[in-house]
Structure 1
Amino acid sequence: MKGANKQPLDIKNPGDLRNLYQDESCSMEPVKQESNYLEVTYLEKLRTSLKDMSLPAGRRNFFTVVLITAGTAVETIGFRQYEFKPNTIYFIPENQLHAIEHWSKDIKGFHVIFDADYFLLCLRNQIRLHFYPFFQPDKLPYLQLSVTEADIMATLFKKIALEYNNRRSVNDDLLVRLYLNVLILEVEKLYQHKMDKAAIDIPRRYQLVVNFKKLVEKHFLDKKPVAEYANMLYVTPQYLNDTVKEFTGRPASSFIYEQLITEAKSQLLQTGETITQIASNLHFADQSYFCRFFRKHAGIAASEFRYKHATST
């Protein structure tokens, strides 16, 4: 992996991705939002804008889905290098180590990136992205498709691209969100049929990180201190935090906070419950503490977040 001995780049949003990897002459319309965004690009267009065909490793703070219809790509996802051929769809989870090693000159297909907030707004009672097997770091991050399956996927990507490019404003994207949801659900069906039991070998210390994140997904409501998770994993809090930070670049506590914020956002957007009720649902002692927590970690007041998205959807 190129630059494996260097600190991975922290890629927080599409703007960072563009600045780090794409040529200044790139004509693609930039995504300006720091959150709640999607960007769809044709691979052949993206390839011509890349500064270099062998790019340093980075951790993307968003999810990526790529469909290759022609040509090949060699990429490192996590701790393994893969060569992706035509009729392959592959996935890069949020915060996963990733590097582009090489894209062939004849590559064609689709490249979609989106953050957790964007997907959260697709439908009520939306499943968390981390629960899909193809976004889990201990499962294979790709699917080899039949010609018919690839055609179906390509049609969905084209619909996402068409509706994305036909938006009259940033918030005029209901069909984009719905087609994204259909794409993820169709991929889930194929993955469960073909690959759901296909685990991959990962370093033992990284397995601790994977197990920690799975425990957080199950217990974030009733277990908030890192020490409680360390106890369940039979390690010290310091060792757990150091290991999580080594492999993700983030402290262990940030994953607990992230789950709480995601659940809070879900309830703010998808229920009519008051902020006091939501604070209680999330096991906060009182509303004021919840509001301070939400503003600190989401960068916006809970009431403002609810109003902003209620008026934009």
Structure 2
Amino acid sequence: MNKEAVRLDISNTIRYYLPSRKQWKGFGEDDTMCALPAGDFAILSQEGGLKRGAPIKTDHFALVLCMRGRCQKTAGPFTFEVTPHTIHIITPRDFHSFEDASDDLLLYMILFKKDFIANTFIKDHIVDSLLELNPAYPPLYHLDEQEFAAVLELFTKIEREYQHARPHYLQMVRLLVVELLYEVDRAQGKTLLQPVRHAGRPFQLTTAFRKLVEEHFLTIRTVQQYADLLHVTAKHLSEQVKHETGETALHVIHKRIYLEAQYLLSTAAYSVKEIADQLNFDTSSHFSRFFKHFAGVRPTQFRGDAVAV
């Protein structure tokens, strides 16, 4: 059985982050959780409240600016800490989740579909390049004071245009979102230039391994199989991955399977047996033991907690 799990649209993503809505007051005016109407575009802020969010996939992009507090975010194969003066981008390609959110966490978010910004004079290939992230790096970028001020000003301008709804406001919003993406692209470029070690063979091998795991985790489960695809020994692959990530190669494989299991359980549309079949476990009992090893609870218990959140 191979079903497509649920992807949240913008309205449902807002409900995910803001289960109880409060009045909109605008970025910088109040720290209350807030949101503006959704379609192909929305802006919102999330303050504290939720400690964690179950894995989801969306049909849109999200730009997330951290104003204060912190949380741990997982996006695709990467787990990273969101801290003040960082911005990260979520794409429809990857599932994502968060946990360990601090009580003072405050995030500003812009949600949009590609079609929203494609409706400008900007050529499609430029839009595609701005939305294309380097798969070797977490999609989190640290901003210095000047960069943060520029990004925050753009968030505020976008909110103001959308709130006041003056003539041509949607076109202005689209152009401001494109400008914001250029700022993110600058931050990404700065990140890529920093660590010299990224040009080395261990990093390249680990990046290729991560990419293969993302493509084949449902069918290829052993380090030896991935090593064969990469034309290296299993021992060499394990040593290089451990050096680069601090995790064993087998753990990287298993973690990807576990994250997919979390995501599927959170959709509430699959039985545990269906999920076990989709993830190619020989029995649902085997899947349950595997999941409990990571989560500390059985899949049915995790599903109950996810629905409660």
Instruction: Report the TM range for the smaller structure's normalisation.
Output: 0.5 to 0.7
Residue 19 of structure 1 and its aligned partner are, at CA, apart by 3.8
Alignment check: 8 A CA contact 1:61 1:115 kept: yes
Residue 137 of structure 1 and its aligned partner are, at CA, apart by 3.5
| 1:147 to 2:145 alignment | yes
In structure 1, the partner of 2:174 is 177
* CA shift in 2, pair 1:73/1:127, >3 Å: farther
Runs of 5+ unmatched residues, structure 1: 1-6, 210-245, 250-313
Distance, in Å, in 1 between the alignment partners of 2:5 and 2:22 is 21
Distance, in Å, in 2 between the alignment partners of 1:99 and 1:77 is 7
- For 1:133-282, what aligned pairs fall within 5 Å after superposition? 135-168=133-166, 172-195=169-192, 201=207, 202=210, 204-207=212-215
Distance, in Å, in 2 between the alignment partners of 1:194 and 1:138 is 12
Distance, in Å, in 1 between the alignment partners of 2:141 and 2:116 is 24
In structure 1, the partner of 2:254 is none
Alignment check: 8 A CA contact 2:44 2:108 kept: yes
3-state SS, counterpart of residue 14 of structure 2: helix
Alignment check: 8 A CA contact 1:122 1:181 kept: no
3-state SS, counterpart of residue 66 of structure 1: strand
Match of residue 37, structure 2, among 27, 31, 44 = 31
Alignment check: 8 A CA contact 1:134 1:142 kept: no
Identity percentage over the alignment? Answer: 19
In structure 1, the partner of 2:112 is 114
Alignment check: 8 A CA contact 1:78 1:137 kept: no
Amino acid at match of 1:14: I
Which contiguous aligned blocks of 4+ residues in structure 1 show a shift greater than 6 angstroms?
246-249
Alignment check: 8 A CA contact 1:88 1:142 kept: yes
Alignment check: 8 A CA contact 2:66 2:108 kept: yes
Distance, in Å, in 1 between the alignment partners of 2:211 and 2:185 is 26
Query: Mean alpha-carbon deviation: is it higher for 86-95 or for 14-23?
Result: 14-23
* CA shift in 2, pair 1:24/1:67, >3 Å: closer
* CA RMSD across the alignment: 3.4
In structure 2, the partner of 1:259 is none
Residue 14 of structure 1 and its aligned partner are, at CA, apart by 1.4
Residue 22 of structure 1 and its aligned partner are, at CA, apart by 2.9
Alignment check: 8 A CA contact 1:41 1:161 kept: no
3-state SS, counterpart of residue 67 of structure 2: strand
How does the TM-score come out when normalised to structure 2? 0.55
| 1:15 to 2:11 alignment | yes
Alignment check: 8 A CA contact 1:8 1:97 kept: no
Per-residue Cα deviation, 1:100-137 (whole angstroms, up to 9, x for no partner):
21322222342111001001013231435553376344
In structure 1, the partner of 2:70 is 72
Distance, in Å, in 2 between the alignment partners of 1:17 and 1:179 is 22
Amino acid at match of 1:92: I
Q: How many residues align?
A: 199
* CA shift in 2, pair 1:29/1:191, >3 Å: closer
Alignment check: 8 A CA contact 1:8 1:59 kept: no
* CA shift in 2, pair 1:29/1:76, >3 Å: closer
3-state SS, counterpart of residue 135 of structure 1: coil
* CA shift in 2, pair 1:127/1:166, >3 Å: farther
How does the TM-score come out when normalised to structure 1? 0.54
Residue 29 of structure 1 and its aligned partner are, at CA, apart by 5.2
Distance, in Å, in 2 between the alignment partners of 1:86 and 1:54 is 18
Alignment check: 8 A CA contact 2:70 2:102 kept: yes
Alignment check: 8 A CA contact 1:9 1:57 kept: no
